[in-house]
Amino acid sequence: MIHRMLLVVALLSAFAAQAQYPAKPVRVVVSTVPGPLDTFARMVLDKMSTALKQPFVVENKPGAGGNIAADMVAKSPADGYTLLFAIDTTFTVNPSIYKTLPFDPAKDFAAISVPVTYGQLLAVHPSVPANSVKELVALSKQKKLTYASGGNGTPSHLSGAYFLAAAGIDMTHVPYKGTGQSVIDVVAGQVDSIFAVTTGVLPHVKAGKLRALGISSAKRSALAPEVPTIAESYPGFEAAFAYAFMAPAGTSVDIVRTLNREMLNALAQPDVQEKNRTFDYVATGLDPSQSAAWLKENRERWAQVIKRAGILAE
């Protein structure tokens, strides 16, 4: 009888703790150094912190394409107090480019949210005689062209490899350690072309130092609506990237739903909407199960591109 009462008390305590989540500060591991992901994470977590009346404390753990941060969170208690903010490629691309991973991207995490997606802009140096995606493809069949990226397996590399596959062409890949230097060298005319985040190349396009040819996402960019999507030339083409907000597998459904709800509420706030517009992010509105499905679908899509291109992590 006493055992039964103790069990009931323990269960009631567990439910109470869950009901008042979060009851203490929440640690959020961000998989990059301060930059776009970190800025976005802090912006939405600040809103969530206000709504849930507990601090969300960011800890940056960069390295190995997000694998170090992901491994740390995967092995943390599934109590909602250690979470992960990563670029989606940790879950969609890394399984195909790393020979082994210290975690299972499908089984070791509960998806809270894929809050926003973003595309890449294809730009060329003005000396390249191509004013459209189709003209660039035709030119590449006549002469050897080059494309820069922020490194093997980065969104800029993946978008480029996917484009080559879709168009049935080849270009020489020139990888850099980070997108910043790669853009500088395309502006300088040392490399012919690049896929990069819209905000990273649009100022150079407006200054006449680069020419924009296409957007990798399914819809045109709100920042550069005059630039056609690549899908307008190659139907079905879509290279979209995202941020992923994740919890360790086994985290209660109620906690995951609470965090997803507050994420959606944060994204709906006018100041966040305006910042997302300037960052060229598109809010998805996905719930936890839809977020998990998005990651699975893109993991399968990139596996095919990576296999064709023979991409391996450096």
User: What is the mean pLDDT of the segment spanning 279-300?
Assistant: 97
What was the pLDDT predicted at 282?
95
Is the confidence at residue 18, as pLDDT, over 70?
no
What was the pLDDT predicted at 6?
53
User: What is the mean pLDDT of the segment spanning 134-144?
Assistant: 97
Cα 87 to chain centroid distance, Å, stands at 4
Report H helices in the chain: 2-19, 36-52, 67-74, 89-92, 94-97, 133-140, 155-167, 179-187, 198-206, 253-267, 270-279, 288-309
What was the pLDDT predicted at 77?
98
Query: Cα–Cα distance between 158 and 299 in angstroms, integer?
Result: 12
What was the pLDDT predicted at 179?
84
User: 49-81: per-residue pLDDT in tens?
Assistant: 999 999 999 999 999 889 999 999 999 999 999
Pairing, β 82-87 against β 26-30: parallel
Torsions phi, psi for 27 (to 5 deg): -95, 130
Structure tokens at 19: 């009901």
Structure tokens at 143: 């002469």
Sorted by where each starts, the structural domains of the chain and their CATH numbers stand as 25-117+241-309 (3.40.190.150), 120-232 (3.40.190.10)
What was the pLDDT predicted at 151?
86
Q: Which range, of 16-25, 27-36, 125-134, 281-290, averages the lowest pLDDT?
A: 16-25
Query: Cα–Cα distance between 274 and 272 in angstroms, integer?
Result: 5
Structure tokens at 62: 């960069």
Residue 288 CB contacts under 8 Å (≥ 6 apart), including other chains:
110, 111, 112, 113, 256, 257, 260
Is the confidence at residue 215, as pLDDT, over 90?
yes
Helix (H) or strand (E) holding 243: strand 241-248
User: 174-204: per-residue pLDDT in tens?
Assistant: 999 888 899 999 999 999 999 999 999 999 9
Structure tokens at 48: 């969530």
